[in-house]
Amino acid sequence: MAKIIAGVSSSHVPAIGAAIDNKQTEEPYWKRVFSGFEKSKEWMAQAKPDVVILIYNDHASAFSVEMVPTFALGCAAEFPPADEGWGPRPVPVVKGHPQLAAHIAQSVILDEFDITVVNKMEVDHGLTVPMNLLFGSPKEWPCPVIPVAVNVVLYPPPTGHRCFMLGRAIRKAVESYPEDLRVVVFGTGGMSHQISGPRAGLINSKFDKAFLDNLTKDPKKLTRIQHLEYMREAGAEGIEMVMWLVMRGALEDKVDEVYRFYTVPASNTAVGHIILEPHRRAAKKAAGKAKKPAGKMKRAAARAKTAVRRSR
């Protein structure tokens, strides 16, 4: 069966993509940002997922104000990089996983979670920047990606609680897929930032760090944050943080935080990043339980052998 082996969250600042494309990653300003993802790339090289499910928002690249789905699931075989005004980013075409995506669509819709199925879609920096941060800049992305686009650009966006529950529904879908696939879920966007208006440039590190703490320890507390609180505390674009809750909902209640990085600023935003894995003690316990029947079987086999000897 397929299983979710980890959750990763990361900002998807467009200027990070521009810094990669313009070969500025070694400049002191950007080195501070990229150095925070070196360990993450090592972790990802070890994790070697078979599939990534990547939660992000489209920035008027695939969808315009004429049509904005609240939740959209990419079911295509491939997703080309979008032209966001300067030509498409020089990154590989994203290969999808249509079979698993179709299974997720069926599972979540029959689970009364009505998601929009998208069979043709270009993907923008919201998806490609986190791919670079976790996989570097290879010629081909190392695994298929299922994009899940969440509307956070046109009011009303979904609540954090609804996003969390979508994560739960995605986990149920993945765990009922018959092929042995190791899946990593990305939640992207945020953290605190506001790109226009009188509060442009707003960053609230205290709010961001508390969000990171609770993402690990008490995600249900985060599901109670209302839109106005995100706006007030994290700026107009801070609402993107609800997408991290899709990732968190896709994990078990107890997780281990294996890595965290936070720096300010990148462009005019805070950059946050976290890697969460299923809680080790719980995983060990599950492994122990799985072994018990084997132990019982050994003891039963020994008893059977003794019985055979005695009967001779």
What are the structure tokens assigned to 214, written together?
A: 């609770």
**Bridge partners of 185?**
7, 53
**What's the closest the beta carbon of residue 195 comes to Fe ion, in angstroms?**
9
Stretch that binds Fe ion, among 95-103, 106-114, 184-192, 254-262 (CB under 5 A): 184-192
Q: In this complex, which beta carbon is closest to Fe ion, that of residue 21 or of residue 257?
A: 21
For the question of residue 125 being annotated catalytic, the response is yes
Helix (H) or strand (E) holding 243: helix 242-249
Give the separation between CA 164 and CA 169, rounded to whole angstroms.
Answer: 9
**187-216 mask for Fe ion (x: CB under 5 A)?**
--x---------------------------
Q: Count the residues of the shown chain that bind Fe ion, applying the rule CB under 5 A.
A: 1
Smallest CA-to-CA distance from 16 within 137, 125, 109 is with 125
Given 193, 227, 273, 279, the catalytic residue = 193
Stretch that binds Fe ion, among 80-88, 186-194, 206-214, 272-280 (CB under 5 A): 186-194
Spacing of C-alpha 191 from chain mean position: 14
Q: In this complex, which beta carbon is closest to Fe ion, that of residue 177 or of residue 186?
A: 186
**Bridge partners of 186?**
8, 54
Residues 277-306 close enough to bind Fe ion by CB under 5 A: none
Distances (CA, A) of 280 to 63, 79, 149, 196, 250: 40, 35, 31, 43, 17
Q: In this complex, which beta carbon is closest to Fe ion, that of residue 199 or of residue 303?
A: 199
Stretch that binds Fe ion, among 94-102, 158-166, 168-176, 183-191 (CB under 5 A): 183-191
For the question of residue 97 being annotated catalytic, the response is no
**What's the closest the beta carbon of residue 16 comes to Fe ion, in angstroms?**
11
**What's the closest the beta carbon of residue 273 comes to Fe ion, in angstroms?**
15
Q: How many CB atoms lie within 10 A of CB 116?
A: 15
Give residue for tokens 């002191």: 28
Contacts of 236 (CB under 8 A, 6+ apart): 194, 195, 196, 197, 199
**What's the closest the beta carbon of residue 179 comes to Fe ion, in angstroms?**
32
* Contact positions vs Fe ion (CB under 5 A): 189
Q: Which residues are catalytic?
A: 125, 193
